[in-house]
């Protein structure tokens, strides 16, 4: 004779699996991200940039500019803030290695917000120097292509 609660263990398994998934999702969401982690400046050949506000496209190939921007993005822990819902973009960047392969791509939305895929990441505003350098390079490179 079957016990009336014979499906109870299956419920516990399903509830346990859901609890584990929720915990893993929470850990992923709460863990800060460091963009371009482990990338060395000498590995980067260029950064392809699109300014979504102006439509200008330009490529950064100067090793000093690359090293500066790389250090700026690597040094700041970014926390996931919200899911992106089709918002426009400011500086969309594609980082390429010496063989032309993509190392990383993300968008600097504001001085403290990066969008990668469908997630917005936020920091304490310490990316203002990176944003200023990108604006200056855009002015320089788009006036003298």
**pLDDT, tens digit, for every residue of 20-34?**
888 787 776 667 888
Structure-token match 């002015």, residue found = 139
Instruction: Sketch the domain layout of the chain as residue ranges.
Output: 1-31, 41-143
What is the tens place of the pLDDT at every residue in 43-78?
999 999 999 999 999 999 999 999 999 999 999 999
Whole-number Å distance between alpha carbons of 64 and 95: 15
pLDDT tens track for 83-127: 877 666 789 999 999 999 999 999 999 889 999 988 999 987 689
Residue with tokens 């320089």: 140
The vertex-69 CA angle with 65 and 75, nearest 5°, equals 145
**Share above pLDDT 70 across residues of the chain, in percent, rounded to a whole number:** 87
């Amino acid at each position: 004779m079957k016990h009336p609660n014979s499906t109870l263990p299956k419920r516990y398994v399903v509830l346990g699996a859901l609890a584990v998934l929720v915990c893993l999702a929470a850990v992923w969401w709460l863990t800060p991200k460091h963009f371009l982690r482990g990338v060395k400046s000498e590995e980067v050949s260029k950064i392809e940039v699109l300014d979504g506000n102006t439509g200008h496209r330009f490529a950064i190939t100067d090793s000093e500019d690359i090293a500066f921007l790389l250090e700026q993005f690597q040094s700041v822990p970014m926390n996931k803030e919200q899911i992106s819902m089709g918002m426009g973009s400011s500086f969309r960047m594609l980082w390429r290695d010496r063989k032309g392969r993509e190392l990383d791509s993300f968008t600097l939305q504001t001085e403290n917000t990066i969008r990668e895929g469908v997630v917005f990441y936020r920091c304490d505003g310490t990316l203002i120097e990176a944003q200023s350098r990108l604006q200056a390079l855009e002015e320089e490179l788009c006036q003298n292509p």
